Amino acid sequence: MSSATCPFTAIFLSVLVFRAAGCGRNHGCSHFHSLHPPHGLDDQRYLTILLYLSVICVGSFVISALFVDSAVDGAGIGVSYGRAASNLPPPVQVAQFLAHSTTFDCVKLFDADPATVQAFANTDLAVDVTVPNDLVANLTDLRFAHKWVRTNIVPRVDDTNIARILVGNEVISTANRSLVSSLVPAMQNLHTVLTSLSLQHRIKVASPQSLGVLSTSNPPSTGKFREGRVAEVMRPLLSFLRATGSPFMVNAYPFFGFSVDTLDYALFRPNPGVEDQNTGLVYSNMLDGQMDAVFSAMKRLGFDDVDIVISETGWPSVGDPRELGVNVDNARDYNKNLVQHVSSGTGTPLMPNRTFEAYIFSLFDENLKPGPLSQRNFGLFHPDLLPVYDIGVLTTEVAGQATAPVQTLNPTPSDSKRWCIPKPNTDVLLLQQNVEYVCGQGIDCTPIQSGGVCYFPDTVPAHAAFLMNEYYQTFGRNAFDCDFGRSGMITAIDPSPSRIKTGEIDPRGCDALSGSEPDMWLHLEYLKGTARLGGDGISGSVPDKRQPCPLSEIISGSPFYSTGGEKRPRFEARPAAATCSPKNGLRPAAAAAPRSQEECNEICFKDPVLKDHEWSYYIDRSPGHDNYSLFDIPKERVEEVRPKRPPKPTAVEPKPVLPHVEPNAAPDDLPSTSA
């Protein structure tokens, strides 16, 4: 409480000051006439009244400050309650546990599920509900916004402390242009509806973003928002937040940005600190640096007065072997130190003496989430509500308290080599959006275009793997540069060796991943020596190893090569499999190289084959042979797609009659098939 909210104290102090300075009624300071006692009161009585009122005001200030201070200690700490799991307790039980057994006083939901929101009724916990990304565009229609609020907010607003409506999650970092452009109009419509219901002061509208909205973040003073689409939406977003009194919410994860050398720095453990050479300020932890980078970016646009909330942060307790620093000790240290730091009031070097609202991700492990193992193991509590580890948020001792065993799964390779790769099983449409996004950010995409050295394998996952890593390497190898709407992951283990199942695959081709050693990334696959394809022995010459992308030789020269005295069509490793090859007793060498994928299917395959990019998953499925693939597709997926024969050409033009080829004909004796 300031003197502005306690006018009697301000007046009393002003009177004392000016009287002491001799600036009274008899000293010619007429512009202080308003300080004179009202008509009928002498100075003594006037000062006495002001003194009594000031005492009352100061007393109320002290009392309120005590309450505020006690609230600040815990009010800044919330928890993200995700429900992508098959083993979680009912929402009512969760709400009662949070309200009565923990010091959390706010919770973030990733949807507005009626039963879950209702579970927090009469608990005094502040609840943030979320509009999922797939509904954001709909909210640009004011009628839909009215309907959404009346369906999801109004029925529960009387008994549930709904504090915010969060519009999407990390929307600006997605490659969906329509979604990004819909964000601010959707937020404005929700605020308009809340205003019509007189709820605009009670319920704020915000939208969590990832650190991927920054183009630079190190040192923190250089923090800057990305140009292009990010810049186009960021200014109107911040203007809206300022006008409505809402915070800028950011998902900040030191877990995705640390290296072997900076682990203590990321975990708030004792460390030498990192100095910002521009300001001379020393940072003792990575989260402060991330927050100040966001602050610097906002300040550049003139919005340093908008509050910042940490909408997500956390550390996993279990992970895959390739994921560094993932164990129970690190997860406990990060989250426990986080709680102490953000609620201490020390703030950050650029934002001193501030207490930040922060949400720990997450309440439970979520066994249904896709991606690496760590994505399913960010939880603070087991489904039985026992802690995975203790971070000091329990108000009472929990009977049978246990923690997960420490798992040391991770090697500690040097941080000098890190790559950005797509997460396993990422939807191909999302990967295509990543390709379009990267190409729109100034990255050279000619290598993956037709005729480019990394065009093959011609699949979305292969192209995305190349471009996502190019983007990551180009923009400084920051964790958020490999976010891509949570479809990317950083690995410190060269991804190529893990893909090589046999020495029969030559790990050469395009040096696709910047930062990787030559010949280590299996961006192109082709058969070397004798391999198996549908039961037929295939052999082919291995191109000169010095050439950076030898695949072009396979598909550009003579359409035939020799195997055991027979002539067979050359195959295109597009991607990683023969797109045309004799099978199951078909006449050897189907006479000519096909001029199209459809011709290849018609000529060479009697059985159904995989189509489009799913060809890459098939080389040899006969017993006892490996399925060579860059992306290790599960056998069930192969079985699912294999029966689908590509559609026959619909063109009415008659197909050329293919000349017969003698089995032992030499390449020079082959008839021409050109028109």
Residues recognised as catalytic = 170, 312
- Give strand pairing partners of 421: 489
Q: Give ∠ CA 469-447-505 in degrees, rounded to 5.
A: 75
219: preceding bond cis by omega (within 30 degrees) = yes
Distance from C-alpha of 403 to C-alpha of 424, rounded to nearest angstrom:
29
Distance from C-alpha of 646 to C-alpha of 43, rounded to nearest angstrom:
99
457: preceding bond cis by omega (within 30 degrees) = yes
Q: For residue 236, with 0-12 CB atoms within 10 Å meaning exposed, 13-18 middle and 19 or more buried, which class applies?
A: middle
> Residue 324's closest CA among 261, 248, 371?
261
Side-chain-side CA neighbours of residue 667 (13 Å): 11
Can you give the length of the chain in residues? 675
Q: For residue 634, with 0-12 CB atoms within 10 Å meaning exposed, 13-18 middle and 19 or more buried, which class applies?
A: exposed
Distance from C-alpha of 672 to C-alpha of 675, rounded to nearest angstrom:
9
Question: 335, 380 in Cβ contact below 8 A?
Answer: yes
Rounded to an integer, what is the distance from CA 559 to the centroid of its chain? Answer: 45
Torsion sign, CA atoms 353, 108, 140, 176: positive
Question: 456, 524 in Cβ contact below 8 A?
Answer: yes
Distance from C-alpha of 266 to C-alpha of 270, rounded to nearest angstrom:
10
Q: What is the dihedral of CA 499, 501, 502, 503, to 10 degrees?
A: 20
Q: Give ∠ CA 631-633-634 in degrees, rounded to 5.
A: 150
Q: Give ∠ CA 32-36-42 in degrees, rounded to 5.
A: 160
The DSSP code sequence of 359-426 is EES-SB--TT--SSGGGG---SB-TTS-BSS--S-BSSPPTT---PPP--------TT--EEEEPTT-
Residue 293 three-state SS = helix
Both tokens of 69, joined, read 């201070």
Going by the DSSP 8-state scheme, the letter that residue 542 receives in this structure is P
Beta strands in 448-501 (DSSP E): 488-491
The amino acid at residue 120 is: F
Residue 480 three-state SS = helix
Collect all residues with Cβ–Cβ distance below 8 Å to 595 and sequence separation of at least 6.
Answer: none
Question: 613, 461 in Cβ contact below 8 A?
Answer: yes
Side-chain-side CA neighbours of residue 614 (13 Å): 17
Q: Give ∠ CA 399-313-137 in degrees, rounded to 5.
A: 120
Question: 438, 229 in Cβ contact below 8 A?
Answer: no
> Residue 220's closest CA among 292, 280, 301, 268?
292
60: preceding bond cis by omega (within 30 degrees) = no
Distance from C-alpha of 580 to C-alpha of 538, rounded to nearest angstrom:
12
